[in-house]
């Protein structure tokens, strides 16, 4: 896949940041509004995929983006597990909501749920991005 026209590249460069921001908003407000870690993570991955599609996979020649996204995928999974183990280590059960609940409808509320959402968001976003890079761009990335 080579890059698309100049119009597409310019629009994609402007819009990708806003899509990333919207995905982050969906993740962080997952415990208040519809959406959550999974949907927000997919939107975050979409912002990167838009850039890859607009500029062409040949642009990401170095293998770093591929490796970095799979590392972030694992980090998200580990973070989710650690948040779940927090309940076990504090003397209750696996996945217990041990952090303070706070006032409802505030961003900093609901104990571990926002942390879980952020972990799932990182995991899903990085995972889908690495699947996309592997399926659509591996020809360019892994060519030694």
Residues that bind another protein (CB under 8 A): 1, 26, 30-36, 38-39, 42-43, 45-46, 49, 53, 70, 73-74, 77, 80-81, 84, 94-95, 97, 101-105, 109-113, 116-117, 120, 123-124, 127-128, 130-132, 134-136, 138-139, 141-144
Nearer to another protein, 10 or 107 (CB): 107
Q: Cα–Cα distances in Å, from 57 out to 25, 28, 60, 144?
A: 28, 30, 6, 15
Nearer to another protein, 12 or 26 (CB): 26
- Match 């940041």 to its residue by tokens: 17
CB of 9 to another protein, least distance (A): 17
| 113 close to 31: Cβ distance less than 8 angstroms | yes
CB of 49 to another protein, least distance (A): 6
Q: From CA 129, how far away is CA 115, in angstroms rounded?
A: 21
CB-neighbour burial class of residue 96 (10 A; exposed 0-12, middle 13-18, buried 19+): middle
CB of 16 to another protein, least distance (A): 14
């Amino acid at each position: 896949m080579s890059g698309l026209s100049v119009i597409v590249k310019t629009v994609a460069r402007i819009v990708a940041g806003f899509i990333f921001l919207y995905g982050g908003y969906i993740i962080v407000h997952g415990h208040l509004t519809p959406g959550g870690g999974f949907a927000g993570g997919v939107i975050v991955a979409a912002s990167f995929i838009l850039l890859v599609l607009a500029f062409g996979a040949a642009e990401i020649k170095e293998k770093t983006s591929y490796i970095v996204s799979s590392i972030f995928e694992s980090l998200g999974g580990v973070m989710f597990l650690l948040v779940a183990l927090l309940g076990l280590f504090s003397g209750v059960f696996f996945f217990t909501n041990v952090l303070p609940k706070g006032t409802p409808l505030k961003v900093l509320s609901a104990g571990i749920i926002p942390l879980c959402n952020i972990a799932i968001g990182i995991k899903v976003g990085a995972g889908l991005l690495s699947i996309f890079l592997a399926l659509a761009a591996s020809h360019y990335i892994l060519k030694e």
